[in-house]
Amino acid sequence: MDRAPEAQGLSLKLPVAGGALEAYRLLGPRRFERPKKPFTRIALAAAHVVADPRSTKDPWLEPAIDWDATIAYRRHLWSWGLGLAEAMDTAQRGMGLDWTSSLELIGRTMDAARDVPGAVVFSGAGTDHVAQADVAGVIAAYEEQCAAIEKLGGRIILMASRALAASARSPDDYGRVYDRILGQVKAPVIIHWLGEMFDPALEGYWGSKDHHAAMDVCVDVIRRNAKKVDGIKISLLDKDKEIAMRRRLPAGVRMYTGDDFNFAELIEGDAQGHSDALLGIFDAIAPAASAALGALAAGDRTGYHEIFAPTVPLSRHIFRAPTRFYKTGVVFMAWLNGHQQHFVMVGGQQSARHLLHFAELFRLADAAGLLADPPLACARMKQLLAVHGAA
């Protein structure tokens, strides 16, 4: 795909290690076309929320959301043929966004989806409105959130529970909780196994710190409840573990990759199967993700890899350790591309990454052709540099 020639030649000075500034000349954006026919993979983007910087709420204590900009961003993602994974960790769920605001977000997104032909929305149900609970309390908390989403007509992503990770005494406790909830849901759900690199409080989920032993427990739960499980999303950033689990799933149960390091390879798949996608990085790279999936649907595997190849280093940078701060990079991309008028996040999380991280993110986004309006992106990058005293 060609670069937009009118955007090439712009330059700015970006910081490098040691404190110096070096000139960087932009390559310009790539021209991505919106999909003309359905993808051959299910593709869900976990979407971020846009904070309201003019709110009088204290950002560390209460989420303040710009609802118009937040819903507009969801329309942007739908326009590229992507489905939505709503109120997930990308939306800062449990990391600035509380359940009350999450439910309002889900409701507003469901309302907006009615005006978009073919719009797909799955929404996160968890236990984050209770700080601590025993196993019975975890079940009750899951039931409350699942019922609230189903009342809105929504499909459920069953999120991992910090309360369950803290209270479970054995793998059997996980089986008890998931069997109970899956036995009650109205439609098949996506189970989300979020690794400790994304949320340290979830270490040892499924009853073991050994991911392979934990996988045994999770697969057993899925097999017992296969009719109520649309799929499983694992976010362990380990392609071999994902492939191993994918090959153990019952027929009809999908693997949704949550591997923001190796998604291109996993989505393409192999002779024994492929992964569908539920990815936070798709929020930031929606045009490229859409074009790549369109190429795959057309049988153009060369084009698929050519589009995705430069997005992988960008994604690995955004999701580098501490991985839980990846949301800052996602929102930074949205700001550079003009989808929001500020770089402010719920909970003040814009401060979670350092200036050199943002500078390298800028370079990698340009290399992937994902700075849609280079003059705007340069102007905003210069604003950030000025705030940090590096202009």
The string of pLDDT tens digits covering residues 321-331 is: 999 999 999 99
- At position 169, the amino acid (one-letter code) is R
* Fold observed for domain 39-387: TIM Barrel (3.20.20)
Closest CA to 144 of 127, 159, 166, 160: 127
Q: How far apart are CA 286 and CA 277, in angstroms?
A: 12
- Does the pLDDT of residue 211 top 80, yes or no? yes
Model confidence at 1, pLDDT cuts 50, 70, 90, reads low
pLDDT tens digits for range 28-71:
999 999 998 999 999 999 999 999 999 999 999 999 999 999 99
Given a cut of 80, whether residue 227 has pLDDT beyond it is yes
What residues have CB less than 8 Å from 365, skipping those under 6 apart?
314, 333, 336, 371, 377
Residue 167 phi, psi (nearest 5): -100, -25
Q: Where are the domains of the chain?
A: 39-387
pLDDT band at 4 (very low <50, low <70, confident <90, very high): low
The kind and range of the H/E element at 43 are strand 43-46
- Which residue has tokens 């759900």? 189
Q: What is the largest CA-CA distance in the chain?
A: 62
CA dist., res. 93 & res. 121, Å (int)? 16
For residue 352 the two structure tokens come to 């979670």
Is 5 a residue whose pLDDT tops 80? no
CA neighbor of 363 nearest in space, from 317, 306, 301, 328: 317
- Do the Cβ atoms of 59 and 348 come closer than 8 Å? yes
Q: Which of 293, 298, 362 is nearest to 333 (CA)?
A: 362
Strands 21-25 and 229-235: unpaired
Take residue 73 and report the two structure tokens written for it.
């961003």
Note the Cα 205 to chain centre separation in Å: 20
pLDDT at 3: 65
**pLDDT for the residue numbered 9:** 72
pLDDT over 70 percentage in the chain: 98
Q: How confident is the model at residue 128 (pLDDT cuts 50, 70, 90)?
A: very high
List the one residue out of 157, 159, 220 whose CA is nearest residue 190: 157
Q: Which residues contact 300 (CB under 8 A, 6 or more apart)?
A: none
Q: Is 54 left (phi over 0), alpha (psi -120 to 50) or beta?
A: alpha
**CB 270: neighbour CB atoms within 10 A?**
11
Convert the pLDDT of each residue in 256-309 to its tens digit. 999 999 999 999 999 999 999 999 999 999 999 999 999 999 999 999 999 999
Q: Band the pLDDT of 6: cuts 50, 70, 90.
A: low
The single residue listed with the structure tokens 């975890």 is 138
In the chain, what percentage of residues exceed pLDDT 90? 96
Of 270, 280, 267, the C-alpha closest to 308 is 267
Q: Which of 124, 130, 193, 184 is nearest to 155 (CA)?
A: 124
pLDDT of residue 229 exceeding 60, the answer is: yes
Rounded Cα distance between 148 and 140, Å, is 12
118 Cβ contact list (under 8 Å, min separation 6): none
Residue 290 is which amino acid?
S
The pLDDT assigned to 69 comes to 98
Amino acid (1-letter code) at residue 16: V
The mean pLDDT value of the chain amounts to: 96
Structure tokens at 23: 């000139």
Give the pLDDT score at 58. 93
